[in-house]
Amino acid sequence: MKIIVGVKRVVDYNVKVRLKQDNGGLALDLDNLKMSMNPFDEIALEEAVRLREKGAAREVIAVSVGSPAAQNVLRAALAAGADRAVQIIAEPMPQPLDIARILGKIAQMEQAGLVLLGKQAIDDDSNQTGQILAGLLGWGQASFASAVAIKGEEAVVERETDSGVETVAVRLPAVITADLRLNEPRYASLANIMQARKKPIEQHSLAELGIVPHPQWQVLALNYPPARKAGIKLDSVEALLARLRADRVIN
């Protein structure tokens, strides 16, 4: 079985994003910012590598869609254990529906038995691509996975819900999205990092895949959230209650 893993290049989670000031605040200023693999995609990749190590899969293919600069993310995926890397050049970055169409095309080309994705990307927090992809392919899906086991022709998945942990079985091929507690990604060794630099990366354009993007929305403005007001210190519980009553927070 081949496993496709989507990996997205995003602003590193430790970095505070900035807005460009020269065009009305309609774009992020990404110049000189540290970029890295989306953390949830790292978890999905780690799970794919573990499944291959257990003998449940024979090949892990990392796929990235977007800027040519995403090649660094694919190198990181190769260093972390991916067998192959595929880059789809697409600028501007496609929206979730088109990303799902692209990943679906790659999954069909590779005859993949499983697609593993992060449950969401930390830059747009859409949490849509995995579910849309399963719908387009007509495959079973299990989102927010906290445990995955391949048993014969099925994937048994523990998934986190608002009411607790739910266990589902989906017939392969399937789409699974990784939650935070699925695993802890390993650190790539120096030897693997050096080897990853020499490995080839397969590249395709949207035209080669026969896909024309159809954006579903348009960004009208980006603004910083309003600054929080400074807090105040009160001397006692009685003063706190009096203030809450004065502000009509409590009766």
Q: How confident is the model at residue 8 (pLDDT cuts 50, 70, 90)?
A: very high
DSSP string, 189-250: PHHHHHHHHHS--EEEEHHHHT-------------PPPPPPPP---SSHHHHHHHHHHTTS-
pLDDT digits (tens, 9 = 90+) for 103-125: 999 999 999 999 999 999 988 88
Nearest one of 41, 153, 145 to 103, comparing CA atoms:
41
The one-character DSSP state at 73 is: H
Kindly state whether residue 246 falls inside one of the protein's structural domains.
no
* Run of H or E including 104: helix 96-110
Percent of the chain with pLDDT over 70: 96
Mutual angle of helices 129-137 and 96-110, in 10-degree steps: 50
Counting the structural domains of the chain, the total is: 1
Average pLDDT on 132-146 reads 95
Tens-place pLDDT, residues 171-225: 999 999 999 999 999 999 999 999 999 999 999 999 999 999 998 888 777 777 8
Q: Which amino acid is at 64?
A: S
* Structural domain includes residue 204: yes
pLDDT at 29: 63
Residue 157: per-residue pLDDT: 95
Residue 234 maps to a domain: no
Question: Residue 86: its pLDDT value, please?
Answer: 96
With 80 as the cut, is the pLDDT of residue 20 above it? no
What CATH number is attached to the domain comprising 148?
3.40.50.620
Q: Find the domain containing 53 and state its range.
A: 2-219
Question: Does some domain include residue 193?
Answer: yes
Instruction: Classify residue 40: in a domain, yes or no.
Output: yes
**Per the domain annotation, does 145 fall within a domain?**
yes
Q: Does residue 145 register a pLDDT over 70? A: yes
**34 in a structural domain:** yes
- pTM score of the predicted model: 0.83
In what order do the strands lie in the sheet containing 84-89? Answer: 164-171, 154-161, 140-151, 174-178, 114-118, 2-6, 59-66, 84-89, 202-205
123 in any annotated domain: yes
49-58 pLDDT, tens digit per residue, is 999 999 999 9
74-95: pLDDT as tens digits:
999 999 999 999 999 998 889 9
pLDDT of residue 32: 73
